[in-house]
Amino acid sequence: MGQSTTVCVVDDDDLVRQTMCGALEEAGFHVLEAAGGVEGLETIEREKPAVVVLDIIMPDREGTDIVLEVTRRSPETKILVVSGGGRSSAEDYLELALQLGAHDALAKPFGKKALAAKVAALAKS
C-alpha cells in the first residue's frame, strides 16, 4: 500500500489500539490514532484518512454514532468496524454498523494479517 494511504485507528483500549497501529504501520500504512470516539471524530474531520478502523463500544461516543457521522460528512472515507462484543454479541454490533454504512467488519480477537488485509482491500476500493 505504501505510506500514501492514511488510516485512523479509533479504539479506547490502549493496548488494542497500539497493537492495531503497529500492525498497520508494519504493513506500510501511515497511521493516526485516537483514544476514543470524540477524539476520533475530530481526527477524522481534520486529517481525512482514506480508511478508519473503528471500535464499536467506547465510553465517550459509540462507534455506531461515528459511522453515521463519517458517512454523512465524508462518504468517500472507508470504515472498518471492529468489536469484541459487550452487552450483545460482537456479530450483532458489527451487523448494525454495516447496516448504518460501515464498509467491512472484523470481530475481535483477530490477527494482524487479517486486519492489514481488510484495510488494504478497503483502501483499494
Cis peptide, bond prior to residue 109, ω within 30 of zero: yes
Pick from 99, 84, 78: which is nearest to 11 by CA?
Answer: 84
Mean pLDDT of 74-87: 87
**Does 1 map to a domain?**
no
Q: 59: which 3 cell numbers?
A: 465510553
Q: Is residue 12 part of a domain?
A: yes
Residues near 46 by beta carbon (within 8 Å), at least 6 away in sequence:
none
Model pTM greater than 0.85? yes
Rounded CA-CA distance 50/65 in Å is 19
The pLDDT assigned to 125 comes to 87
φ, ψ for residue 17 (rounded to 5)?
Answer: -60, -45
4-33 tens-digit pLDDT: 799 999 999 999 999 999 999 999 999 999
For residue range 98-114, list pLDDT tens digits in order. 999 999 999 999 999 99
Query: Of 103, 108, 93, 21, whose CA–CA distance to 62 is shortest?
Result: 93
Residue 85 has a pLDDT of 67
Query: How many domains is the chain partitioned into structurally?
Result: 1
pLDDT of residue 86: 62
DSSP letter at 59 equals S
> What is the DSSP secondary structure assignment for residue 103, as one 8-state letter?
S
Backbone phi and psi for residue 56, each to the nearest 5 degrees, phi listed first: -85, -45
Half-sphere exposure of 19 (CA within 13 A, CB side): 13
- Cβ 107 vs Cβ 100: under 8 Å: no
Q: What is the CATH number of the domain that holds 112?
A: 3.40.50.2300
46: pLDDT strictly greater than 50: yes
